[in-house]
Copies of this chain bind each other. A is one copy, B any other.
Amino acid sequence: MKKISLEMGSGGKLMRDFIDDYIVKPFNNPFLNELTDSALLPNNIGFTTDSYVVDPIFFPGGDIGSLSVNGTVNDLIVSGVKPEFLSLSLIIEEGLEINSVKKILNSIKKSSEEANVLIATGDTKVVRQGQGDKIFINTAGVGSIIAKPCPKKIKPGDKIITTGTLGEHSLAIMLAREEFGIEAETKSDCAPLNFLIPLWKKGPYWMRDITRGGLATVLTELSEKLPFSLIIKEEKIPLSSPVQAASELLGIDPLYLACEGRALLVVAKEKADTVLNKIRKNQKGKKAEIIGFVDDSIGKPGELLLSTISGGLRLLEPLTSELLPRIC
């Protein structure tokens, strides 16, 4: 490989290898375990960053502004950090309508209020036409560490919960691009996951937001580190009817579709129902489901298996090639 390819930005295996080889290994330090997660710094500070390059910048259910707040806020929350402050850095292409910028900034304002964070510092750069694409936004987030995820405590029998249906963000982007010649009424699930913060008291071992690479990629990243396998049940996976229909029509696997307002949790068996009920009490968690469990008898250690509706078992791999560039 001599040149950067789109696949390296997919959130899939190629990207993880690239980041591992070129960033995590050379920059090796105790805070940088994984470049995709929040860093847990001394003095109880959590720190994360994300650049957003979503195309189109406006889509049903959100825009690049709400995405840049929610994406970063959610990265902190799933790491056990209460988000408090965001930085906001804009790279704007010359010629973008000022009204679009206003609309995006207004959306950032609303989203940051909803997510209970303050924009504390920022930066603006303008590049010539053709050297960017409308607007790219970076937000970094800092907050207070309120819980330490402990994936090492995960044991057979623990339950896997999704806080909602899968793939609406990806589908909304696809439809907004009008590349697929299908029509459906769907909105991005883009939302802040603040309602999960109190759940850290219930002792989940692990949380992750379901972003690039979808559920399958996020869960294989976990399963690979475990001495057990993870099994998810196809029949339990909540899908909205537009996502179900579009997936069948286009032959896309919703397990690889990105969300921007959903998370996965691993919780001890005896706490799973309590946690599920708490999640369902929130409007954004109404469709939450226990979708699987940690296993030490069916699969091999490190595997992620899908128990299909037809009764079979399918090994799930992390995403390797880019389904849809610039989803976030």
For the complex formed, measure the closest distance between the CB of A156 and the CB atoms of chain B, giving whole angstroms.
32
Is A15's CB within 8 Å of the partner chain B?
A: yes
Is A180's CB within 8 Å of the partner chain B?
A: no
Cross-chain contact A51 with B140 (CB below 8 angstroms)? no
A131 CB contacts on chain B under 8 angstroms: 53, 55, 132-133, 326
A49 CB contacts on chain B under 8 angstroms: 87-89, 121-123, 138, 140
Cross-chain contact A105 with B26 (CB below 8 angstroms)? yes
A18 CB contacts on chain B under 8 angstroms: 124
> Which residue in chain B gives the minimum CB-CB distance to A100?
B4
Is A50's CB within 8 Å of the partner chain B?
A: yes
Evaluate whether A121 and B89 lie within 8 angstroms (CB atoms) in the complex, with A5-B126, A140-B140 already known. Answer: no
**Bound complex: CA of A70 vs CA of B251, how far in Å?**
48
**Bound complex: CA of A92 vs CA of B8, how far in Å?**
10
Cross-chain contact A2 with B122 (CB below 8 angstroms)? no
Q: Which of B36, B55, B109, B127 contacts A133 (CB 8 A)?
A: B127
Is A196's CB within 8 Å of the partner chain B?
A: no
Is A175's CB within 8 Å of the partner chain B?
A: no
Type the 1/0 row for A284-315, where 1 means its CB is closer than 8 Å to any CB of B: 00000000000000000000000000000000
Type the 1/0 row for A105-121, where 1 means its CB is closer than 8 Å to any CB of B: 11011001000001111
Copies of this subunit: 2
Is A39's CB within 8 Å of the partner chain B?
A: yes
**Bound complex: CA of A313 vs CA of B218, how far in Å?**
64
- Could you show 22 A-B contacts with beta carbons less than 8 Å apart? A6-B126, A6-B128, A8-B92, A9-B92, A9-B124, A9-B125, A9-B126, A10-B126, A15-B124, A22-B101, A22-B102, A23-B122, A27-B109, A29-B119, A36-B122, A47-B121, A48-B121, A49-B88, A49-B121, A127-B133, A132-B136, A136-B136
Is A38's CB within 8 Å of the partner chain B?
A: yes
Question: CB within 8 Å of B: which residues of A?
Answer: 1-10, 15, 18-19, 22-23, 26-27, 29, 31-32, 35-39, 41, 43, 45, 47-53, 55, 84-85, 87-99, 101-102, 105-106, 108-109, 112, 118-128, 130-133, 136, 138, 140, 142, 325-326
Find the residue from A27, A94, A112 having the highest chain B CB count within 10 A.
A27
**Bound complex: CA of A90 vs CA of B6, how far in Å?**
13
Q: Which of B2, B84, B125 contacts A51 (CB 8 A)?
A: B125
Q: Which of B4, B45, B99 contacts A96 (CB 8 A)?
A: B4
A88 CB contacts on chain B under 8 angstroms: 23, 35, 49
**Bound complex: CA of A142 vs CA of B43, how far in Å?**
12
Evaluate whether A119 and B32 lie within 8 angstroms (CB atoms) in the complex, with A6-B94, A6-B126, A95-B3 already known. Answer: yes
A128 CB contacts on chain B under 8 angstroms: 6, 325-326
A23 CB contacts on chain B under 8 angstroms: 88, 105, 119, 122, 124
Cross-chain contact B5 with A94 (CB below 8 angstroms)? yes
> Which residue in chain B gives the minimum CB-CB distance to A79?
B121
Cross-chain contact B47 with A1 (CB below 8 angstroms)? no
Cross-chain contact A123 with B36 (CB below 8 angstroms)? yes
Cross-chain contact A136 with B91 (CB below 8 angstroms)? yes
